[in-house]
A and B are shown apart, each in its own frame.
Chain A
Amino acid sequence: AQSVAQPEDQVNVAEGNPLTVKCTYSVSGNPYLFWYVQYPNRGLQFLLKYITGDNLVKGSYGFEAEFNKSQTSFHLKKPSALVSDSALYFCAVSPYNQGGKLIFGQGTELSVKP
């Protein structure tokens, strides 16, 4: 079955420290990978995507993600966290040749404390 796993329900980080939000996936073929962020009472906002090419993808607000095909992972990272980064983060995969269907993980709540 196709799936996306975010193993941590919550990640706590001190402001200024690096952060990592983990994501692994299970799909056949070469998927397209995405990260979205959701602020309270808001829809999701696109952060970044991996289609092909360089395994390190840079996105909005200083976030980046590293695609690792052998580990089927797509972890989200930021060198220095801000309090304003506190939100709910979703990893998603678009399986190859299945239209635009996105399979989302269950989300990781990121809390950045001053």
Chain B
Amino acid sequence: ETGVTQSPTHLIKTRGQQVTLRCSSQSGHNTVSWYQQALGQGPQFIFQYYREEENGRGNFPPRFSGLQFPNYSSELNVNALELDDSALYLCASSAGNNPEYEKLFFGSGTQLSVL
């Protein structure tokens, strides 16, 4: 088991609502990445935070936003939920000064269902 914890584990929302997902990174890790994993697909990169600054973003619309706190925990916010947002959302943390090639430690994810 990694030291990355995500909450909640499951969530059901309706279309148009807003949601906040939370992630506590492993102790000593300064980088947090968020991924969306649709059923039967590989994870897709949403964005990454390195020492509280956004360090890269994938092809997701602006209604996906994030935050990293001074203790390196993180939030993912999604506004105006759409049915296609239904997926497993994975948080991953890593240590070191080179996020490009550090191994990621993943949490178990938050399963979001949008009805």
List chain A positions with a Cβ less than 8 A from chain B.
Answer: 4, 32, 34, 36, 41-46, 49, 51, 90, 92, 94, 96-107
List chain B positions with a Cβ less than 8 A from chain A.
Answer: 2, 4, 31, 33, 35, 40-45, 48, 50, 55-56, 58, 90, 92, 94, 99-109
Shortest Cβ gap from A11 to chain B (Å): 16
Nearest chain B residue, comparing its CB with the CB of A88: B42
Nearest chain B residue, comparing its CB with the CB of A41: B108
Structural contact, A42 and B108, CB atoms closer than 8 A: yes
Shortest Cβ gap from B54 to chain A (Å): 9
A101 to B31, CA, bound (A): 12
Given the known A-B contacts A100-B31, A102-B45, A103-B45, are A43 and B100 also in contact in the complex, defined by CB atoms under 8 Å? no
Can you list 17 contacts pairing A with B, beta carbon distance less than 8 Å? A36-B106, A43-B2, A43-B106, A44-B92, A44-B104, A92-B42, A99-B55, A99-B56, A100-B31, A100-B48, A100-B50, A100-B100, A101-B48, A102-B45, A103-B45, A104-B35, A105-B42
Structural contact, B109 and A43, CB atoms closer than 8 A: yes
